[in-house]
């Protein structure tokens, strides 16, 4: 039988933006090494054909899909989720699996502002999901194996059925690509169960991603300007700097590379934020830098990478103020530094000025109110 090769690459969503071992260039050189004839991604067909993607999956929107389109590799959405009506039977409060509440929850990667809090994650190599000994994945699989009573078992059962349906869709892809190489890029959580379901499939030969070489000297391993902005923004302007871990040495390398490539108010904003977090400048010096940035920018200048999916909001999956203009963002940073100095009245004046802006909707102003204390007053 002419079997197809199946490679399931388990990933951490947006881990590419905090770990040097998972950075975007590593993905591109891995894709080049695999030479897939078809690529499957973690999105349902219904959403995919509307160009609707998970907001927190950087590896999907900015790496896998662009690579496939550039190389003219067929793409297949293989995720599955229940219909809105079916989900509503169980999940009355929040039946939409994608759209977050107006004010996102703290410490919730999918419905809040995503961050990675553990130092351990920075040490995971690119093929961490291949290893059954990985403690994070072991805990995930243990959770799947523990039955609960009644409706509390909904999420576990949903994940198991979701995995099964993903596997069935991968089998359908294999029928179209007999004897060819199929790459699946999916959250690491799904990989063990998918391989277990597909292990006895006669049409497929499961090959571990780690058997492929990653050439770090390949030109595809180089970081693009968008990558540099995304890494810097995620670590410096988002909640990663508040709740998560940051590889400061790597981030300094990223910023220096960005500064060699581009000179702009946005780069100045990122450098100033880095310097204040590292304690190499004073609060007063930071305020002076942010004021300079504010005076040199306009309200129609947005961040190069902001991660915002719902553009009627100001927040993204990692940054409470992601869709604010660079000018408004610099004002937010000034307010934060005034608060650190105990100049609360000056901070409040800035807040009132932003809320009086004609550039923001009622919803966006409500979000500023909702996020102000946690992410301006109480954020370093």
Query: Do residues 170 and 40 make contact, with C-beta atoms less than 8 angstroms apart?
Result: yes
What span, in angstroms and rounded, lies between the C-alpha atoms of 294 and 291?
5
pLDDT of residue 220: 67
What span, in angstroms and rounded, lies between the C-alpha atoms of 56 and 308?
10
Q: Which residue has the tokens 């277990």?
A: 196
Tell me how far CA of residue 56 lies from CA of 12, 42, 101, in angstroms: 10, 12, 15
pLDDT of residue 268: 98
Helix axes 135-145, 154-176, angle to 10 degrees: 110
The mean pLDDT values, 10 residues at a time, for the chain of 380 residues are: 92 96 96 97 95 94 97 98 83 66 82 84 94 85 90 91 97 96 97 96 95 83 94 96 93 96 96 98 98 96 95 94 96 97 96 94 96 92
Strands 4-11 and 181-187 turn out to be parallel
What span, in angstroms and rounded, lies between the C-alpha atoms of 271 and 267?
6
What's the predicted TM-score (pTM) here? 0.94
């Amino acid at each position: 039988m002419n079997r197809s090769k199946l490679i399931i690459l388990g990933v951490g969503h947006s881990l590419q933006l905090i770990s040097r071992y998972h950075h975007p260039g590593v993905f591109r050189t891995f894709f080049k090494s695999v030479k897939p004839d078809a690529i499957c991604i973690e999105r349902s067909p219904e959403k995919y054909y509307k160009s609707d993607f998970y907001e927190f999956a950087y590896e999907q929107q900015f790496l896998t899909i662009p690579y496939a389109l550039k190389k003219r590799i067929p793409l297949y959405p293989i995720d599955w989720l229940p219909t809105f009506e079916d989900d509503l039977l169980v999940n009355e409060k929040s039946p939409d699996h994608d759209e977050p509440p107006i004010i996102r929850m703290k410490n919730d990667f999918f419905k809040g502002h995503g961050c990675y809090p553990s130092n351990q994650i920075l040490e995971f190599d690119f093929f961490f999901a291949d290893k059954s000994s990985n403690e994070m994945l072991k805990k995930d699989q243990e959770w799947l194996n523990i039955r609960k009573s009644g409706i509390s078992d909904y999420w576990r059962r949903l994940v198991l059925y979701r995995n099964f349906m993903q596997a069935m869709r991968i089998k359908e892809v294999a029928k179209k690509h007999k004897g060819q190489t199929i790459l699946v890029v999916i959250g690491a959580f799904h990989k063990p169960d998918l391989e277990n379901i597909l292990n006895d499939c006669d049409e497929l030969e499961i090959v571990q991603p780690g058997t492929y070489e990653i050439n770090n000297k390949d030109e595809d391993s180089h970081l693009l300007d968008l990558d540099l902005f995304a890494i810097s923004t995620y670590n410096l302007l988002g909640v990663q700097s508040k709740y998560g871990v940051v590889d400061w040495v790597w981030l300094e390398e990223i910023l220096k590379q960005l500064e060699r490539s581009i000179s702009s108010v946005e780069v100045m904003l990122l450098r100033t934020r880095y310097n204040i977090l590292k304690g190499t400048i004073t609060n007063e010096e930071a305020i002076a830098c942010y004021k300079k940035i504010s005076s040199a920018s306009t309200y129609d200048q947005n961040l190069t990478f902001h991660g915002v999916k719902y553009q009627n909001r100001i927040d993204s999956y990692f940054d409470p103020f992601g869709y604010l203009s660079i000018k408004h963002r610099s004002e937010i940073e000034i307010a934060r530094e005034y608060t650190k100095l105990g100049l609360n009245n000056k901070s409040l004046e800035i807040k009132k000025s932003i809320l009086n802006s004609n550039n923001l909707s009622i919803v966006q102003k409500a979000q500023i109110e909702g996020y102000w204390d946690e992410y301006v007053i109480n954020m370093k």
